[in-house]
Structure 1
Amino acid sequence: MSCYTYFSIVALTVMSATAHGADSPVSFRSDIAPILQDSCLACHGAKKAEGGYRVDSYEELLKAGDSGEVPVAANPNDPGELVRRIICEDESERMPAESEPLSAEDVALFQKWVAEGAKFDGENPGQELALVIPPPTYPAPPEHYAHPVPLTAVAFSPDGKAVISGGYHELIIWNVENGTLVKRIPNVGQRVFALSFSPDAKTLAVGCGEPGRSGEVRLIDFVTGEVKAVVARTGDVVLDIAFRPGTSELAVASADSSIRIVDIQTLKEIRTIASHADWVTSVTWSDDGKLLASSSLDKSAKVYDGSSGDLISSYLGHKESVRGLSILPGNTQIVSVGADKKLHRWNISDNKKVAEVGLGSDGSKIIRQGDIVLVPCADMRLVSIDLKSNKVAQEFKGNADWVLSTAWLSGVSEPANQMVASGSFDGELKLWKASDASLVRGWTAKP
């Protein structure tokens, strides 16, 4: 049976003009790349390339697979192997394999795009699809949540009057005094994994994404809630972000195993660091911005020159995944935590461990305030460690699930009024007194 009986070339031409407009050219970025990502990438990507054929970038799309057939022919009257496969009626040949055929509208877009010369309208034909596709405007979040969202990121507002949590395609702002909903900021990634305010406290950087599909950092005007820009787009979720002190540089840790340094003023990527072999779980700068450090599921923690990105040190003492770390004042030591249930304190110069503190549970991304380190733990505790004694100083108890995130409200007039926030897997947001670890209030962080 002919592969062209499913759609004739004439029918395709008519449909393409109807579906997309006779005078409107088809865009690879906006029209073709999203179809490839949704329907083709799972079987024809860099990690899995059925038939030796890949579609994860425009450049790869044009290369023949094992069959040697030209995917997109130079002659507009010959649609080439790509269109032949997607219109084929024979299920043994039609793509996507073992799935429903593409819609008539999608097929029409492909045929019209090929007839117009299969042009690329992006900046770099070698970029992966996730980076070529224009940043989306995300759907409005639900008015009410049926179930809470795990709180993988929390932060206090610069004025200390609000605490921010991530929702589903949104940020949710809560009143610190009574836990009531203040406002909702939509149009962010499906899940929020990191929050950080710029040094001038005007821009909130949001590390977010959809697991296994996309990641990005959205820069939001915190007063207006407007998305000012989208930077550091990746093929998997952004897990952590950190501003370099005194600069507009932002370090971005991603599940695609990379670290990107971007300038939020110019919106340009300064460099990419590809030193890890697995998810980069956290990034942090030294207090003076001279050093950058990262942790990863590859069981390592690494230190880099903050200006060049050159690798300085690599610590392998955890023997398990590393999930959080901090560079201590003086730039000579690091503290790090992970799946081995310990906090390690080690020298940057020789990668030697000088102390360890038992946590009793897996630790996640940590924050440091002076000589105190806060460690969210999987056994439903938030642990405070005193770096002067290398001992557990306090335990914030009261969560009913894995504590995933924490934030510290400092800078208030009275030290006794300093607060700590914790977010857990079950969506509970809790506020604590930093001085004695007593619970101030808590609530389920869902509209």
Structure 2
Amino acid sequence: MRCCLNPDCPNPHNHDSHQYCQSCNTPLIPLLRGRYRVIKVLSDEGGFGRTYLAEDVDKLNEWCVVKQFAPKFQESSALKKAVELFKEEAKQLQKLGEHDQIPALLAYFEQNNYLFLVQQFIDGQNLSQELQQGITYNESKILQLLLDLLPVLKFIHDRGIIHRDIKPQNIIRRQRDGRLVLIDFGSSKQLTVTVQTQIGTTIGSHGYTPMEQMHNGEAYPASDLFSLGTTCFHLLTGVRPSQLWMEHGYSWVSSWRRHLSNSGSVKVPLSGYLSEVLDNLLQTDIQQRYQSADEVLKDLTNEPSFTSAPATLLTVSSTTQRVNRLLVYAAILLLGLGGVWYLQARVFSSHQPVNKVSQAPSTLKGHASDVNSVAFAPDGVTLASGSDDKTIKLWNLANNQEIRTLKGHSQWIWTVAFSPDGQTLASGSADKTIKLWNVSSGKEIRTLAGNGDGITSVAFSPDGKILASGSLDQKIKLWNVATGKEIHTLSGHSQAVASVAFSPDGQTLASGGWDKKIKLWNLTTEKEIRTFEGHSQLVQAVAFSPDGVSLASGSKDKTIKLWNLVTGEAIRTLTGHTDKVNSIVYLPKSINQKNQTVANLASGSSDNTVKLWNLETGKEIRTLKTGSGYIYAVASSPNGKMIASGGSADNIIKIWQISN
């Protein structure tokens, strides 16, 4: 196949035997610059040239991309200026190609009054093609996109280059490693801005291009960040910003959230944190927008900027300081991964159900970001906490002092659980691994790897020999604690598994998932026993009652359901929370004034409260108000006299004293 290099040719594809284009009669060039065999048109630049797929015959016919710039200038001085700018731009692109996520520049030259630029071919699909294939983007995927692309933007902005056209079509997911590659730094955009501004030509794509670039032809690092924000919006909702721009101009940006609820691709609402970050990216007023990729990265990692950003013409607004917590909280909020741990049933003497709580809970401070998981050791004195800051902390509750910090995970910690003997701690992370730790020494025992995505929940069997894990990859894995080997994988959920819990006898495992379902598994046969359905939205947490007779589940639908394990029917629904229920835990049974055994439950919610429930009546006993912030995790001490809560408020853990 030979391709005609006349940028105006209506049908440029020709057979190898042709010497002239069968469509426009232009002489066909067998090898461009004696090296590149142009095969087909990849995209048309609307009169300024085309982008072609080609083979490099000097590199065993390795594929490459040839970009042609064919400005139709009437004046020779304008064309001369364009050539000069092209060469300067090519030098800049050569530097940018040093980054692994930017196509390398292979050559640039002029031939037959056209300018050509040859770049590395990236094997993969762009994000627009992914959308067309039905791939949906949730909050976790948007987080991954931001963390993958922002360093690339920082790299180019530090070198004085503005991309000017960030959109799904210009972001390719590289097939070999899944990394995102930013393409189309086309010099045609740069040259068009410089040479053609007198006729009002603007570079960018409607809907993705910020106001200052569209109206004035001015572009800054903040301009690329606006385009990145609109790209995230498009991926989340499936709604094209170009369509909204044509219908509403820039006014659509102020009400972008309403498109989330109307979108079939968004399964759950965004956390407040991601919403706020997108707000800062989507500001029409550039002064109110993030000014650099560094600022966004600082909010994502809660760490100092990697290096000083180059000076801009703009002043950073105080608005950009509003978001000062990890965006990765979003993934935790999305999942509601508070973790659930089975607690040994112990009856303690009392004349009435739990109903007295200390008015001023003690606080444990030390984490640098959200606390996503808390767990009591069997001794009732040691507490473990896992955080977005990638660390696990062990605390002595006798004096509320930190014992030690466990480091080893490369991403945030979603879940922690003690073994029944209290000697081992398990932790699950967004880095797709589970780590087992020696509690006494704080040393890592081993790492369990094999999941395809982040670990959302871990739980030990009552005998401590098996560890169960739930993951975003929709799988439940059973692990041999002594050897670290995988025993079995349980498959059945159609979406992420958010929570797992063992029955007190160790024979049954319960799992709750984003598919709104709860499943029971027979661990002897490793088969599914039954599925409970009744929640209207995703299930965040599951927990067996201490006697093993019933199961509780917490959901994004703001309710807690109690299930009969024999019939599979919902016994009771507890209502009272005004936002998603992220974590639940049974409390040890108590004796009421009528000498009756009473079961209680604690729940943590994104409505900033912990609630205590009487499960016999289904009534709320008390609400523990935490002030501000979401509650991601609750846990009860073995004797039921302490409740720990962890969440997003000031990165602290609260310890509530329960009295009778």
* TM-score normalized by the length of structure 1: 0.61
What residue identity is the alignment partner of 1:444?
K
| Cα 1:319–1:202 shift into 2, 3 Å | same
Is 1:190 the equivalent of 2:366? no
Q: In the alignment, which residue of structure 1 is the partner of 2:510? A: 335
Query: For 2:337 and 2:493, how far apart are their aligned partners in 1?
Result: 23
- Who is 1:404 aligned against? 582
Q: Tell me what 1:364 maps to.
A: 540
Whole-angstrom CA distance in 2 between matches of 1:331 and 1:418: 21
SS in 2 for 1:365: strand
Q: Which residue matches 1:324?
A: 499
Per-residue deviation, 1:184: 2.1
Equivalent residue letter for 1:364: Q
**Aligned-CA RMSD value:** 4.0
Query: Is contact 1:179-1:441 (8 Å) kept?
Result: no
- The answer to whether the Cα contact below 8 Å between 2:338 and 2:541 also exists between their aligned partners in 1 is no
- The worse-fitting range, judged by mean Cα deviation, of 292-301 and 404-413 is 404-413
- Alpha-carbon offset, residue 278 of structure 1: 0.7
Q: How many Å apart are 1:106 and its aligned residue?
A: 8.7
Matched, 1:306 2:481: yes
The match for 1:229 is: 404
Which amino acid letter does the alignment assign opposite residue 184 of structure 1? T
CA 1:154–1:221: 2 relative to 1, 3 Å: farther
Please give the alpha-carbon distance, in whole angstroms, between the structure 1 residues aligned to 2:339 and 2:502.
21
Structure 1 residue identity aligned to 2:499: G
- The one-letter amino acid of 1:362's match is L
CA distance 1:100–1:427, change in 2 (3 Å): closer
- Retained in 2: the 8 A contact 1:205–1:220? yes
1:178, distance to aligned residue in structure 2 (A): 4.7
Q: Is the 8 Å Cα contact of residues 152 and 424 (structure 1) preserved in structure 2?
A: no
- Aligned position for 1:31: none
Give the match for residue 445 of structure 2: 270
1:374 aligns with 2:549: no
Cα deviation for residue 107 of structure 1 reads 7.9
Aligned partner of 2:529 in structure 1 is 354
Residues 376, 90 of structure 1: CA spacing in aligned structure 2 closer, same or farther, 3 A cutoff? Answer: closer
Aligned counterparts of 2:411 and 2:158: Cα–Cα separation in 1: 34
Separation of aligned partners in 2, 1:290 and 1:382: 30
C-alpha distance in 2 between matches for 1:154 and 1:100: 33
Contact 1:313 1:348 in 2 (8 A): no
* Structure 2 counterpart of 1:428, one-letter code: T
Percent identity between matched residues is 22
The question of 1:395 aligning with 2:573 is answered yes
Match of 2:413 among 238, 245, 256: 238
Q: Deviations over 1:230-260 (max 9, x none)?
A: 1144222211111111141011011111100
Q: Which residue of 2 aligns with 1:426?
A: 607
Q: Which amino acid aligns with 1:333?
A: T
- Partner amino acid for 2:473? D
Report the Cα distance in structure 2 between the residues aligned to 1:347 and 1:296, rounded to whole angstroms: 19
- Following superposition, the deviation at residue 384 of structure 1 comes to 1.5
**Whole-angstrom CA distance in 2 between matches of 1:251 and 1:441:** 31
Distance 2:504 2:340 in 1: 23
Give the distance between the partners of 1:377 and 1:315, measured in 2 at CA.
22
- Verify the 8 A CA contact 1:153 1:192 in the aligned structure 2: no
1:398 alignment partner AA? G
Segments of 5+ residues of structure 1 without an aligned counterpart are 1-42, 54-65, 67-84, 109-140, 142-148, 162-174
Would you say 1:436 and 2:617 are equivalent positions?
yes
Alpha-carbon shift at residue 188 of structure 1 (Å): 2.1
Once the two structures are superposed, the pairs formed by residues 206-221 of structure 1 within 5 Å of their partners are 206-209=385-388, 214-221=389-396
Q: CA deviation at 1:228?
A: 1.0
Match of 2:519 in 1: 344
Residues in 2 aligned to 1:420 and 1:330: alpha-carbon distance in whole angstroms: 20
CA deviation after TM superposition for structure 1 residue 315, in Å = 1.2
Structure 1 match to 2:15: none
1:438, 1:217 → 2: CA distance?
35
Task: Quote the residue 2:33 is aligned against.
Answer: none
Which residue does the alignment assign to 1:292? Answer: 467
- Mapped partners of 2:599, 2:445: distance in 1: 36
TM-score by length of 2: 0.42
Give me the whole-angstrom Cα distance separating, in 1, the residues matched to 2:458 and 2:493: 17
In 1, are the aligned partners of 2:294 and 2:306 still within 8 Å (CA)? no
1:204 aligns with 2:383: yes
One-letter amino acid matched to 2:364: I
1:392-422: per-residue Cα shift (whole Å, max 9, x none)?
A: 2221111111111112221534564542111
Contact 1:189 1:215 in 2 (8 A): no
CA distance in 1, matches of 2:372, 2:441: 24
Query: Hey, what does 2:246 align to over in structure 1?
Result: none
- Summarize the Cα distance change of 1:291–1:106 in structure 2 as closer, same or farther, 3 Å threshold: closer
Does the 8 A contact of 1:428 with 1:445 survive in 2?
Answer: yes
Give the distance between the partners of 1:351 and 1:89, measured in 2 at CA: 55
Between Structure 1 and Structure 2, which shows a larger proportion of helix residues? 2
Q: Distance in 2 between matches of 1:273 and 1:376?
A: 28
- Answer yes or no: is the 8 Å Cα contact 1:303–1:348 preserved in 2: no
Measured against aligned partners, the alpha-carbon deviations of 1:271-323 in whole angstroms (never above 9, x if no partner) come to 10112111111001111111110101101111111211211111111121111
- Give the deviation of 1:327 after TM superposition: 2.5
Q: What secondary structure is seen at the aligned counterpart in 1 of 2:484? A: coil
With 225-234 and 347-356 compared, the bigger mean Cα shift is at 347-356
Kept after mapping to 1: 8 A contact 2:541/2:555: no
Counterparts of residues 28-177 of structure 1 (less than 5 Å): 49-50=100-101, 91=160, 153=338, 177=356
Give the letter aligned to residue 557 of structure 2: D
Counterpart check, 1:386 vs 2:564: yes
* Amino acid of the structure 1 residue aligned with 2:604: G
Paired residue for 1:120? none
Counterpart-to-counterpart distance in 2, 1:262 and 1:413: 37
Q: Give the equivalent residue in structure 2 for 1:172.
A: none
Question: Counterparts of 2:474 and 2:294 in 1: how far apart (Å)?
Answer: 41
Asked which structure has the greater CA Rg, the reply is 2
Separation (CA, whole Å) in 2 of partners of 1:421 and 1:220: 21
Change (3 A) 1:226 1:319: same
